Structure 1
Amino acid sequence: MAEKETRELSRRVPQRPLSPFHEMERMERMFEDFFRRPFSLLTPSQWITGAQGWEEVAGPSVDVYEESDSIIVKAEIPGIRKEDIDVTFRENMLTVSGEKKKEEKVENKDYYRLERSYGSFSRSIPLPAEVETDKASASFKDGILEIRMPKTASSKEKVKKITVQ
């Protein structure tokens, strides 16, 4: 009788027990990440991942929707100047990125205060239809970035019904 070969499907990595020091280190990392990237804690995924590690954050909240002849993308980017926002398009993928740089300095007779806030974000959004990038427009008002992109002629065509036999 031939011997049956056994293969290991996956290795089990034993988890080390969590200590109070581990939890403190985790909280310190979370605060350091927040000050480096202020948008990093806006998504629930940061809180859900737990002790397994932190996953990268996509960036600000984005709404993507279609109108009859356009695709509209709205992104919430509070606290950032429009000069610090970069919008690029490549291979049906829209990327919104930016950097926040803020410094507040207060000098009084009794005290001196200097606060700095820095952080960057990037969000790539796949678009649901082909667009004419040369006719796209963007506006930024009250922390909301709105990008309007007209659809190409081929993507504007109506849905064709296919009969099932």
Structure 2
Amino acid sequence: MADIQVSKQPSPPQHRAPDVFDALQSEMNRVFRSFDRNWPQWPNLFRGGASEAALPNIDVRENSNALTIEADLPGLDEKDVSVTLVDGVLTIRGERKDEREEKNENYYLSERRFGSFERSLRLPESIDEDKIEARFDKGVLTIVAEKRPEAMKAEKKIDIKKA
């Protein structure tokens, strides 16, 4: 009987396979850095910055008679805002002009921020386009769009039956 000897050879070094998520994160970082380099005027949407000027906050409420839209536009005047309706799309446009100046014995601070904004909403077909009103008071734009009379019919409750 022959002796069988098993020799153990050292295993090759283990290399960690590249992590797909690390590669994805690196690529995303590269893309976002290119935005900063190539478009300095691009609003800094990823860290706050000019995005405030880009889209005003809005609330939309509907009842049986009308649709009410409120847009928060602090620091703006009525003359800085326009509201238009084209093919059932309501658009709120405006421009912010914010200047701040602060003087102290140790420093002088002067900041200016300008930016246009636009927000559009498609109105439902139940709205009477001839009965839309807009009011501006204390930085809040309120738009009331009345519904057509046929759209204001009483709601009909439908019973749910057991199967």
TM tier, smaller:
0.5 to 0.7
Point out the structure with the larger strand share.
Answer: 2
Does structure 2 retain, via aligned residues, the 8 Å contact 1:76–1:144? yes
Amino acid at match of 1:125: L
Deviations 1:6-42 (A, max 9, x none): xxxxxxxxx78738x848836946995149x955169
Give me the TM-score of the superposition, normalised by structure 1. 0.59
Does structure 2 retain, via aligned residues, the 8 Å contact 1:38–1:118? no
Does structure 1 retain, via aligned residues, the 8 Å contact 2:43–2:50? no
Distance 1:69 1:39, change over 3 A: farther
Matching residue of 1:40: 51
Shift of 1:112: 5.3
Deviations 1:53-94 (A, max 9, x none): xxxx6x222221222311111112223222111111122221
Q: What is the root-mean-square deviation in Å for CA atoms of aligned residues?
A: 4.0
Does structure 2 retain, via aligned residues, the 8 Å contact 1:38–1:119? no
Q: 5+ residue gaps in structure 1?
A: 1-14, 43-56
Report how many aligned residue pairs link the two structures: 133
Matching residue of 2:26: 18
Larger Rg computed on CA atoms: 2
CA distance in 1, matches of 2:51, 2:152: 37
CA distance in 1, matches of 2:110, 2:98: 11
Q: Give matches, 1:114-125, under 5 Å.
A: 114-125=110-121
Distance 1:92 1:18, change over 3 A: same
Amino acid at match of 2:68: I
CA distance in 2, matches of 1:24, 1:90: 35
Matching residue of 2:97: 101
CA distance in 2, matches of 1:38, 1:60: 14
Does structure 2 retain, via aligned residues, the 8 Å contact 1:39–1:121? no
Give me the TM-score of the superposition, normalised by structure 2. 0.59
Amino acid at match of 1:101: K
